[in-house]
Every structure is written in C-alpha cells, then in structure tokens.
Structure 1
Amino acid sequence: MITTRRAALKMLGATSIATTAGLAVQAAGSSPVAADTGFPSGRVPKGLRPGGELDRLIADMAARDVFSGSVLITYRGRTVLSRTYGMADKARAVPNGPDTLFGLASIAKLFTAVSVAQLAQRGKLAYYDTIGQHVDGFAAEIADQVTIHHLLTHTSGLGDPFGDPGFWDAARTWTSVQQVMDGTGEFVRKETLAFPPGAGSQYSNSAYHVLAEIVARASGQEYHDYVREHVFRAAGMGSADFYTLPQLREDRRIAHGYYRPEGAADRIDNLDEQIFLPGAFASCAQLERFAHALWEEKLLNPAYTQLTLSPKLPGLPPPGPTQLTVFTGYGPGATLAGDHWSYGHNGGSSIGGVAELMFYPDHGYVTVIVSNYEMESIRGIPGLARKLIVEQQ
C-alpha cells in the first residue's frame, strides 16, 4: 500500500501474524453485496457459514461503520463465506465489491519472497549470498556480512527508510517507479546496522527493498515487471498489480483509504497524504488464488515451497494466554496450533487500509480480510476465523 509519513512507523506488517489474529472486537456501516451459493457443508463449522458467528460479527462491525471492505473464506477452493461492505470511493459513490482492489501493504513481502525463491530455484542466487554479491553501494560491513537469509527473516539489522531523516521531502518529488526505487535505495544505503547481522530481530522494510533490488539484478527485469510476470500472472491473479498515486485517483476499481483524524467526527480520504510510491493491490479472490498457487506448488517446486514456508526463527506470541507458536519463515509467518501449521502475512496503514492473508494447508482453508479503513477495523475477525477453523476440526 502507498504509505505516508504518519503511517510509515505504524505498519501492521511489523506485528506478528498471531498478534493480529488475537485482536479484540471493535465496530462499521453498510450492507453485504455478495451472496454465498453452493458452499460445502460437511466439515465446515457452522460458525464459518453464512449466518454463523463470523458472519454476524462482520455484519455488526459494518453496521457500526468500523469495518469497510471484504472478507473471503474458502474451503478446498470453494467459497464458504464472501462478504463486502462499505464504499471504495465515497466522493464518487463507488461501493466496495468482490472485485474491488485493496491495498496490501506488507503482504507484498510475500511476492518478494516468492520471487527470491524462484531465482534461487533457478540458480540465480543463494540464500547465503551476501548482498554485496548482487547490489552495489553499501558499506563493507553491510555488503560483506548481510545475507539474503538475514534480509528475508528481518535479522539483517537494517531499519525502515520511511523513518529516515529527509525521506518524505525527497519522496514527494518522485514521479516515476524508477525514481522511487533509486531514491529509496539511496536512503537505505545510508543506514547503519542496529545490531550485527543475525544477532537480533527487527522488522525491516529496508531489507525487503534490498531484496527487490536483488530480484531485479538477478533476473534482469525491473522488480515490478518480474513480480507481474512470475507471481501475479503465474498465480492467475488477473488485475492484481502495482498501482501508483495517479492510478488511485482515477481507477474506480481501487478502494481509497479512509481514516478519522484525531478528534474528528468523520473519516477522510487519505489521497492527499499519499506519495507516488507504487503499492500492491488485489481483490480477495486474487489473494486466495495466490495462496493456493503457493501451497499447491504452482509457483515453486516442492523443495523450494517447503523452504519458503518452513519456520526459521521464533516470533513474538500474541498477547494473553495462547496455544499458538509463531515463527518467521522466508517471507510468510508460520503459526503452529496443536499439530497443524498455518501461514500468511498482514499489512496496513494507520491512515486507512489493512489486509490479512492466512492459509491452512492441513485444514484446506484460506482466509482473506481486507479493509479500506484504519488498522483497527478488522479487530476480532482474524482471531475468530482462526478459532473456528483450528478448534472445530
């Protein structure tokens, strides 16, 4: 998702998957526009079906104008629950729908991670390669010590360009994708490490920018072009793409982000606070196709699929009592509940827009939750969906 100065340091992607799943309920307004037909019953818990506990929670939150967006639950590729509420563009009275494209924010890191794995599978790079083997301009202590493994697992010691002094002043002058990539890279190259590579863990947008540069160098394609061809198109994701600020203003398929400024009664459109930065946008159905393509080994061979999904180091557990064990993988978060694994990522902005993708290969489910309201707008939905999937099997 395109982000701004106020939102950059409050990225939901910086929290663990399980933490997001454990958030408590809040509130929303509008009515559902998608019906559910032909969903499988069998092993599907009643709470996940239309009219069930999850459906009622979402409807209540929408009725109180806390949630605006879409939710899709599938079981073995078939729709169990599909709901859409709210407006994509309030000024033009464009409603959200099942085909609306929502900002994905840090979910886009999954696309970067898959791209890295594809190139590793082809022998174009290795996870133990240092970044200096692929890109130039870094100080020796970074170029010669930080590896692709460190970048993928947020153990590089790099930080976040959005918080670097002068970033936003420079970013507001960029008017092309190449300017964004080059300009962001200049700020990342000025960073110093917060800790020696591998000696700590710190969520890092800078690390994933470097990975994008490595994808471009190793593949011979501009990063966004590579992802379009080898991830979006390969997974059958249709109109999913990287969209820039001018496209957000004009394309009626794209949901605008809305947030309520402190002390204000009403939410406002966040377009005036955006920068050109191209962000990944997709519909619920397109994210669901990506999840299946990944776990069904359509994007990577079996060995590299397992390598991408498997846990690499422990993550932070959700607050309060829990039976979940959370790990960082090569892109996806991996969560162990009992003896079953689930995988996914989340992302969002404090000024409007939040998304979570989770898939449960052992159970056959995919859950996609996207909203064009503040990060808090999905509180309670991921946790209840997980509970119904995991505990009632």
Structure 2
Amino acid sequence: MAATLRGVEGLTVPADFSGVISVDRAGEPSFRRAYGAADRAAAIPNRADTRFAIASGAKGFVAVAVASLVEAGALRLDTTARSLLGADLPLIADDVTVGQLLAHRSGIGDYLDEDADGYEVTDYVLSEPVHRLDRTDAFLPMLDGRPTVFPAGARFSYCNGGYLVLALLLERAGGVPFHDAVAERVFAPAGMSDTAYLRSDELPANTATGYLHADGLRSNVLHLPVRGNGDGGAYSTVADISTFWRALFAGAMVSPGFVADLVRPHTEKAYRDFGYGLGFWLRPDGRVQLEGSDAGVSFRSAHDPDTSTTWTVVSNWSDGAWPVAREVIA
C-alpha cells in the first residue's frame, strides 16, 4: 500500500520503499522520514540518522578533495595523469589530465560498461575478488589493459575508472592514503561527522545493509569492493549530505571561485538535458545534483544554492530510491 506524506505535498511513497526522504531549507529539515529496514533479518528499522551507502554520489567528495589539493599547490587541473602514474596503467594516454578525468572527458577505457546490452545493476561485474579491494592500489589490476576509447578532451563519457585513477593521483600528489585524504580535506572541514568509507563486512551500528531486491535477504556484499574508493562507496546520512552542500557553497573546503568551476558546465548536455561540471551533475532547473546507483544502493540529492534547499532520497535496495526521487526531486 502506498502512503501519502504530510509535509511534501502530493507525494506518495511505494510500500517497498526502504530508506530516508529529506528536504532541508537552510540546514533546517522541513521533512525527514525513514522507512523500511536497515537489517531485514534482524528487523532493525531505518532511522532518519541511519548511514547509507551512496555509491557514485561520493564522486563529488573526490572532486572537492582534488580541488583542495590543487589550491594547496600540490596538483593542477592540467597535471597529466602520466606524470604521477609512472609506468602504471600504460594504456592511459600521455595527455590525459586531472581536469579531464574529473569532467569524464579523459577518453580512458573503463572497467565497467553500464551501457552494455543486458547489463543489470545487480550483476557481478568485478574482475578482482571483492575482499582484496580495500585500498587504492588494489584496483590497479582491474584498471589495467583498458584501451583508449577516444582522444582526451574530445567528448563526455561517464567513466568510473577515471575516478579510481583520480584516487591514485590524489594519493601520489598528496602523500596521504585516499580515504584519509578525503576525510581530512572534505569530511572534517565540512563537519560531516557521520560520513566515512566503511568496510561492508564490518558495518557499525545504525548503518543500512544494501539489498539487491525489494524483498529477500540477498545483500550486495559480494557485488561491490569491500571498501569504497574513488568511484564511489562512502556511507553517509541525509543530514551530512545537507551539511556537505552548505559547506561546499560556503567555501568551507575550497574557495568559492573554485566551487564555481566545479559546478559550471564542462559539458553542456552530458545526459539528456543534464550538464556536467567537475564531479557534479547540473540540472536544467539550476540545481546541482549528486547521484549514485549500484547493487543495493540508490541515491539522489539535489541542492539549490540560491535558496540553500536540499532534497535527498536514499535507499538500501537497488532501485528503491527512483520512484520517490522522481516525485521529490523530479
């Protein structure tokens, strides 16, 4: 049975929705409600402050961490990947830059082809044992041997592998492991106390397990890296996501001038009428968006910098967020 929500006019929530819906205005929640179970076997309900995996929604965190390192003088947007990769990943063209990787305009081959015929988000797609993927250099065998798809800078093509390469560059330019670098340069200055790259095989209390389907107990623990990395996999709360947006546009992590570059169109029409900046989707209505989709994960958050309003829908099953997000965020 679908239920009509008070506080979000005209919104109905499917009976199988499991997650949290949040609308914040200037940091104050005008609507925030949890549904479904964080742990189905133990019948532990989701709460408004439950931590959820956000998949590629974390690419915005990576972009801000890179921007912070650029402002610190350790990296430039025109730094070539090759200058830091050395002999690693030899099929990445010598002229591919940090900026092109951030904008998904690098042309490098990707380890994941989401446009392949028959691809399903619940497929087993990783070529490396997931338990080994707990640090950035462990992804090198998975990224290696991928031929260039098009010349660097020629066009937009969404590339998860490009953000794993960015994680390597972030480590090598800054001298700090990826997870620590993002925590120091993004989570700490933003005040995101409930956000981290958690291991899926040792999730702490009040953290949602990701499920493949609307019902049943099959989780995503064998589908994703045991610990997320550059292309996604952080865990967060809707409150921390709202905090991130406000901190971003307040200049808490990088200067307002650099923020403007992150959220301006580097591709005007990357997907339908959506543009893409550096780590952020740009909606035709002027809002900035982060989105993540993976086995057991669905997440969308949009922010209006003019009104400081944030809309977030997150679910702990593969397609759970989308019907609700289409109504809440459109």
TM-score normalised by the chain length of structure 1: 0.74
Alignment map for 1:174-185 (pairs within 5 Å): 174=132, 177-178=134-135, 181-185=136-140
| 1:381 and 2:324 correspond | yes
Partner of 1:50: 7
Q: Which amino acid aligns with 2:24?
A: T
| 1:309 and 2:263 correspond | yes
| Deviation readout 1:119-145 (Å, 9 max, x if unpaired) | 111111111111012222246663511
Distance 1:359 1:52 in 2: 19
Partner of 1:22: none
Residue 363 of structure 1 and its aligned partner are, at CA, apart by: 2.8
Distance 1:205 1:148 in 2: 14
Partner of 1:257: 210
Compared CA separation, residues 358 and 143, structure 1 to 2 (3 A)? same
Asked which structure has the greater CA Rg, the reply is 1
Aligned length: 316
Q: Which amino acid aligns with 2:242?
A: E
Distance 1:51 1:119 in 2: 40
Partner of 2:291: 346
Residue 306 of structure 1 and its aligned partner are, at CA, apart by: 0.9
Q: Which amino acid aligns with 1:110?
A: G
Residue 253 of structure 1 and its aligned partner are, at CA, apart by: 1.4
| Deviation readout 1:70-103 (Å, 9 max, x if unpaired) | 0110112211111110000011121100111101
Runs of 4+ with >4 A deviation:
138-141
Distance 1:287 1:382 in 2: 15
Task: From 301, 310, 330, give the equivalent of 1:357.
Answer: 301
Residue 214 of structure 1 and its aligned partner are, at CA, apart by: 0.9
Task: From 311, 325, 329, give the equivalent of 2:277.
Answer: 329
| SS of residue matched to 1:71 | strand
* Unaligned segments of structure 2, at least 5 residues: 115-123
Residue 169 of structure 1 and its aligned partner are, at CA, apart by: 4.9
Distance 1:200 1:312 in 2: 10
| 1:231 and 2:174 correspond | no
Contact 2:296 2:316 survives alignment (8 Å): yes
Q: Which amino acid aligns with 1:315?
A: K
| Deviation readout 1:253-289 (Å, 9 max, x if unpaired) | 111112339xxxx433314534423331001101110
Distance 1:366 1:336 in 2: 16
Partner of 1:96: 46
| SS of residue matched to 1:258 | coil
Residue 52 of structure 1 and its aligned partner are, at CA, apart by: 2.2
How many percent of aligned residue pairs carry the same amino acid? 28
Distance 1:359 1:272 in 2: 30
Residue 171 of structure 1 and its aligned partner are, at CA, apart by: 2.2
Compared CA separation, residues 169 and 343, structure 1 to 2 (3 A)? closer
Task: From 224, 228, 237, give the equivalent of 1:283.
Answer: 237
| Deviation readout 1:15-48 (Å, 9 max, x if unpaired) | xxxxxxxxxxxx879x99xxxxxxxxxxxxxxxx
Compared CA separation, residues 211 and 169, structure 1 to 2 (3 A)? closer
Distance 2:180 2:307 in 1: 34
Residue 252 of structure 1 and its aligned partner are, at CA, apart by: 2.7
Cα RMSD between the aligned structures?
A: 2.5
Compared CA separation, residues 85 and 132, structure 1 to 2 (3 A)? same
When you count helix as a share of all residues, which structure comes out higher?
1
Residue 182 of structure 1 and its aligned partner are, at CA, apart by: 1.8
Partner of 1:120: 70
